[in-house]
Amino acid sequence: MVDTFLVPEKTVVHAKGDGTATDISGATHRVFLLTLNIVSIVEQESLDVLIHGSSEGATWNPRPLTSFPQKFYCGQHPLLLDLKDHKEVKFVRAHWEVYRWGRGSLTPSFEFSVSIKEVPPEIFQEAAAEAKALA
């Protein structure tokens, strides 16, 4: 069961960068809940977080598997990542881009984390049963 961080808690960044490669090859269901948690942000700046995949953890596909919508405020932002049709992906990592504009220092500053947690198939089975009962 995958339950870890792509970007560790209390990570502070001032420029674009990449998280470490995370092995997801042991995941049995291949559907994951990603959570972007922005703890600190300054006004007039934005954060883009993209998730990339790799078959061996060294060469990364330039096209992201998914991305969070651009963020300007603190908060927790969930996103589902379904890799059932991407059997070749055995590693994932986060990539972030930061932007700053306006007055004052033009150096962006963010404190954030990105977690990844495998979603058990039972959750989808329960949701499907509830939907069927309501139909």
pLDDT of residue 102: 85
Q: Could you tell me if 91 and 24 are in contact, meaning their C-beta atoms sit under 8 angstroms apart?
A: yes
Which residues face 118 on adjacent strands?
A: 32
**Closest Cα to residue 93, out of 21, 7, 13, 17?**
21
Asked if residue 124 has pLDDT above 80, the reply is no
CB-count burial class (<10 Å; 0-12, 13-18, 19+) for 98: buried
d(CA 92, CA 52): 6
Residue 128's pLDDT band, with cuts at 50, 70 and 90, is low
CA gap 67, 72 in Å, rounded: 15
pLDDT digits (tens, 9 = 90+) for 29-74: 899 999 999 999 988 999 999 999 999 999 999 999 999 999 999 9
What is the C-alpha to C-alpha distance for residues 102 and 10, in angstroms, rounded to an integer? 26
Q: Which fold has domain 3-134?
A: Jelly Rolls (2.60.120)
